[in-house]
Structure 1
Amino acid sequence: MTDTEIIDETPAARAARFRAEAATRGIPAAEVEAYLRTARPAVYLAPDGPGPVVALTGGNPPLPEGAPAPAAAFVAAVDCAALPPGVTDLPLPAEGRLLFFADPDPGSGAVVADAVRYIPAGTPLTERPADSGTYRRARLDFCFHQWSWPWREEDDDEESQRAAELESAWSQVVGWRPHWRFQLGGEPVLFNEDPVELVRGEAPLPVADGDEWTLLATWRGEEDCAELEAGLFHWVMRRADLAALRFDRVYVHVDAF
């Protein structure tokens, strides 16, 4: 199987190969299914991926005429229509653009009213100079989609060893993956603290029954963010707010080392 075929593989086919790989390692089927139940689908974007172009990062933000200037630096504009259907479990809009903003402030975490903007499809846009600085410009293509799992602390106990074996089996199944720069959905990658757990404990916003805080996106700043040697920018919001296109209550966290 080629890398392109692995990238384009359906979730059901990938799950079947994962079950088969786990069985060859003697992992009980019940543990495999429990592991799969914790997975969340995510889409990953990278420079020079197989396409199509999904996002532009850095530079000046593309804004509608008369729109207020953003309070934070422009990170990325994601074209929702360029995302294949079903690549995440988020209620993302089917078209239009999501604009992401954040300043390179490590350790910061707060609910921000203007961290994400939704621009409906067909809206005339003009790039406008940003008042709060800019990141380097880059083009990000659709690269691959796969499941992600909650971060687990490494330990020497039997449970942690079995989890490591399951992760090894999964890595064997999905094969090589390009180095991604932007993630939509799934579970957050971490340097230090989990932004979803942080907002659950910090944000003074009620969460209705059946609703939950969830990761909307992560950006690896890397060389496109000169202020941080290694920075992870996270945007977390309630699923109900995302479905309602209500972006005035997004939690932003910047992680770095």
Structure 2
Amino acid sequence: MVGCIIKGMTSQTSLHDLARTHLPADMAARWLTLLRPGAGLAKAEPGEPLAGRLGGAPELPEGEEWPVWEGQGPLAFVARVDCAALPVHVLDIPLPADGTLSFFYFDGQIDDGEAFVAPDEPETWAGARVIYAPAGAKVTERPTPAGLEAYPEVPLTARLEPTAPDIWHPVVERTVGVDPRGEGWPSAFTDALYDHSAGPGHRVGGHADPVQNPVEFEVAHGVLGKDVRWDDPRVAEEAERWVLLAQFDTDDDADMMWGDCGALYWLIRPQDLAERRFDRAMCTMQCC
């Protein structure tokens, strides 16, 4: 049985209502095709099914060492997600049907924030890792390395929720046929979307909810290289090749603060996800 609370219909109705209220009918119909299901993760209340947790101590497969950024130090354990407890039959990305995903990030505890993971600096990519433990794999709980303090453990439950692309994501203009920066785009709809958003939150799958600009652009530019201009059409093309694997927001209960009230985002190409090539996932952080 999937450990997921099937909620989110109110939010979905709200997104439909927003589009139909603020967009012409033809634009609304096209924009609504962009909605995608995501698994929102929230602190589990007593009795709710568990889908993972923030913080605590990770359980890693035998033979898998604690992730280390060579020359910098060990990564902090951020979260674990139980794939069997997610609505993988509803999500539109090829997540494993079972097993666990563990997320690690170099959070600045070791060097007081001097080193920073950035998509356009390949030498920093080792500062973020995703480790997959297949179902049935023998795992052991690992102690937190010296120099790191484990984040407080927060149990998570999953709630199915509709997600919309950031208004500046290239898929919006391509699908709707109107540039959101142009006069043909109703600014009231943009304002209504921002008012509707409660912030990034924790999520697996669906669209990323960026703090600033689309995170897909940051990853695409990093993959293409610094010599490529941001306005090069190849950046937008590459951005559409990446999907959100997971995002983890600033969280008071877990004592997690990413920059100034920011969030961590892991993106991956669908083909790499289907092949379980989590070593090819890319991470970026955005904050206010």
Structure 2 residue 267 is matched with structure 1 residue 236? yes
Segment drifting more, 94-103 vs 180-189: 180-189
Gaps of 5+ in 1: 172-176
User: Which residue among 225, 243, 248 is the counterpart of 1:219?
Assistant: 248
Q: How does 1:179-194 map to 2 (within 5 A)?
A: 181-194=201-214
Contact 1:51 1:143 in 2 (8 A): no
User: Which residue among 141, 157, 170 is the counterpart of 1:141?
Assistant: 157
Structure-2 change in CA distance of 1:221 and 1:90 (3 Å): same
Tell me the number of residue pairs that the alignment of Structure 1 and Structure 2 aligns: 242
Overall identity of the aligned pairs, in %: 29
Q: How does 1:160-199 map to 2 (within 5 A)?
A: 160-164=186-190, 167=193, 181-199=201-219
Q: How does 1:149-164 map to 2 (within 5 A)?
A: 149-152=165-168, 157=183, 159-164=185-190
What SS does the aligned partner of 1:123 have?
coil
**RMSD over aligned Cα, in angstroms?**
3.8
Structure-2 change in CA distance of 1:89 and 1:166 (3 Å): farther
Query: For the residues of structure 1 that align with 2:65 and 2:38, how far apart are their CA atoms?
Result: 31
Residue by residue over 1:202-236, the C-alpha shift from the partner in whole angstroms, topping out at 9 and shown as x without a partner, is: 11599999x81121110013322157451301101
Q: How does 1:5-154 map to 2 (within 5 A)?
A: 7=7, 9=9, 25=21, 27-48=23-44, 51-71=48-68, 72-104=75-107, 108-110=117-119, 112=125, 115-131=129-145, 133=148, 134-152=150-168
Structure-2 change in CA distance of 1:28 and 1:214 (3 Å): same
Aligned position for 1:255: 286
The Cα of 1:59 is off from its aligned counterpart by 1.6
Structure-2 change in CA distance of 1:83 and 1:10 (3 Å): farther
What SS does the aligned partner of 1:53 have?
coil
What SS does the aligned partner of 1:199 have?
helix
Residue by residue over 1:142-163, the C-alpha shift from the partner in whole angstroms, topping out at 9 and shown as x without a partner, is: 1342122224499795514253
Contact 2:88 2:95 in 1 (8 A): no
What SS does the aligned partner of 1:109 have?
coil
Contact 2:23 2:189 in 1 (8 A): no
Query: For the residues of structure 2 that align with 1:248 and 1:21, how far apart are their CA atoms?
Result: 38
Query: For the residues of structure 2 that align with 1:21 and 1:56, how far apart are their CA atoms?
Result: 33
The Cα of 1:27 is off from its aligned counterpart by 4.4
The Cα of 1:28 is off from its aligned counterpart by 3.2
Q: Which amino acid aligns with 2:24?
A: P
What SS does the aligned partner of 2:189 have?
helix
